[in-house]
A and B are shown apart, each in its own frame.
Chain A
Amino acid sequence: MPTSLIACSFLLFVLTSWNIDHLNTLRGGLSNIFIPVLNTMTAPIQGAANRMAEISGLSHLRAENAALKLENQRLTSWYQVAQQLKSDNASLRQLMDTKLPESYDFITARTIKDNKKSYVSSILVSAGSVEGVAKGQAVIGRNGVIGRVIETADHASRVLLLSDTNARLPVIIGQQQTPSIIAGDNTGVLKLLHTPRELEVNVGDAVITSGHGGLIPSGLPVGFIAKDAAGKAFIKTSKGFGNTEYVRIVNKYTDPALKASLDKLNQ
């Protein structure tokens, strides 16, 4: 019996590592059964732990309130500037007859489980194919893109975080729009690959998605450029990257006419 179980595990391991379609269907089926059970089991403990964290954080409320008031004042003035820029931008685009980028909406999901071990970085979220989640969609955390959907079940999906060694994301950097590709290495630091040497990248430059490849929409924030002691640029992500109770999955809208044209071109 134990030997046959080990042999069975070995077979499953080899076949699922090879990504055989039938095994992925089996895996999807098992996920549909198991993930709601895991969600139900962890939710009460998660809720109780969060309530405890809230209670222990009551003493900081006064200071937090003062900081939020200050931030609110600052953001209100920025909001007015943004409104002004938005209307300027709209009228300039109209003047130049620019084709606006496609719009998208969001699917909000709760994080059920994280798997940020030293060699894998992924999270499990509580929305799946029934809610409209599909493989390849971008996932946004508190302050920007944190990864993309790699696997979906009926009511749950797995998100590969940008910090995983297998994650790659095309981005553009700063006002110069320098193209680059982000790569994770499971350390929390995001490396830059294939950045043209002649183009300079400065500390503090904003990094946003380029939309190249068509999978992830353009213009989503990712982080800011920082440099290490040796002067090598990397991406500084926001505090607690990937540590978020709720995520937003970008449900990208594809214009049917544009899709038909692209399909025709690809033929």
Chain B
Amino acid sequence: MNLNLKNIPNALQLAAPYALLMLMFVLDNIYLSWTAVSEIRPGFTLMAIFYWAIYRPTLFPPLIIFIISLAMDIANGSALGLHCLVLLPIYLFIRRQRRFLYEQPFFVVWLGYLAVTCAANAALWLLVRISQYSFDFTLNYSTLTAILYDIAAGVFLFPVVAMLLYFIHKMLPQMNMRAGDIK
């Protein structure tokens, strides 16, 4: 069966990235008691935010990042604004660098994601310590390994998620926009 993407109505096409972001959010927050793997959080929402900041920033204005970050704070029980203080600056930085990243082969984008996920995990850990009035910033072995597992899982899964996002991206109606149009 040959799926003709042009037959899908525009509204549905435009809703797809938001639906996928919701799915990523659900995957980040789902609880599966029977698997130890559920303790590793690859950061699916960050992958989606990273991808769209490069390839379709107009679809995700900062307000949406703010709302999704607030939802993450409520789901995680962390101080309100914590995830936004991490995700929004990352999103704005990537959007500023998109002119460079847009033209690069996937491997470079993947490396970019590695840097972003490292920075996000480090910033989250730091802000959680501050919000708990715990100013001892020494990392013990188990905390470090748990953070590294999260990062490794995220980097390992990024190509799979990026492929899904690429499919949705190609499904979207074309826009007359060059990489440098948004700063």
Contacts and interface: CB of A to CB of B under 8 A. Distances in A.
B163 interface: no
A167 to B, nearest CB: 12
Interface in B31-54: 31-36, 38-39, 41
A189 B126 CA distance: 22
B140 A187 contact: yes
Taking each of B69, B77, B88, B89, which has the highest tally of chain A beta carbons within 10 Å of its own beta carbon?
B77
B131 A13 contact: yes
Contacts of B61: 1
B81 A12 contact: yes
Interface string A98-128: 0000000000000111111111101110000
B33 A111 contact: yes
B92 A2 contact: yes
Interface stretch (B2-10, B22-30, B104-112): B22-30
A118 B66 contact: no
B127 interface: yes
Nearest to B70: A30
Interface stretch (A34-42, A83-91, A131-139, A190-198): A34-42
Contacts of B79: 12-13, 16-17
A223 B30 CA distance: 27
A53 interface: yes
A212 interface: no
B80 A23 contact: yes
A203 interface: no
Given A16-B79, A120-B128, A244 B85 contact: no
The binding surface of chain B is classed by DSSP as: helix
Given A5-B66, A30-B70, A30-B74, A12 B80 contact: yes
A10 interface: yes
Interface string A1-19: 1100110111111011100
A205 interface: no
Interface of B: 22, 26-27, 29-36, 38-39, 41, 61-63, 66, 69-71, 74-82, 84-85, 88-89, 92, 125, 127-134, 140, 142-144, 146-147, 150
Given A50-B34, A111-B31, A124-B75, 20 more contacts: A1-B62, A2-B92, A12-B79, A13-B81, A16-B80, A17-B130, A23-B80, A35-B74, A38-B26, A42-B31, A53-B34, A113-B29, A116-B39, A118-B143, A119-B128, A150-B77, A187-B140, A243-B33, A243-B34, A243-B36
